[in-house]
Amino acid sequence: MIKDPIGILIYGYNREDAFRIRATLDRALNDSIFVISASGKEDMLIADILDNGPEDFYEDRQDKIIMFLAFNKEQVDTVLNDFPSPNITRPIFCGLTVQNIQWMMNRLIEHLKQEHRQWTRGKLSVKEEP
């Protein structure tokens, strides 16, 4: 049985870190994943970035995002638990959806940052309760 390839859309990492992330995920998932960089494509639709496929342009940015492409739940859990190393900043993770595939990359970034702030605030306030 041939399975669909799995990959990530990556944003905010330099080339070295992106390749380190890919190597770590290849080992953790025991599979070879593809990587598509969204660096420099903030004004493009996610669908168009995916259609264009991999390019060798990576850029270090404050905002760091990894979008799972064709991952199942077990694979997502493995990545969330085994994210590379303390030397590599943990991104905001997300999955590809019917809605966000039609968004511009910069809209996705802002949406994820807002969602992350709300989630982090909620998580912190829960911890503070007796």
Query: 88: pLDDT confidence band, cut at 50, 70 and 90?
Result: very high
Instruction: Establish how many alpha carbons lie within 13 A of residue 46's alpha carbon, considering only the half-sphere containing its beta carbon.
Output: 24
CB 66 within 8 A of CB 91: yes
CB 100 within 8 A of CB 108: yes
> What residues contact residue 127 under an 8 Å CB cut-off, 6+ apart?
none
Query: 65: pLDDT confidence band, cut at 50, 70 and 90?
Result: very high
> Residue 85: what pLDDT?
77
Residue with tokens 């970035």: 49
Rounded to two decimals, what is the model's pTM? 0.88
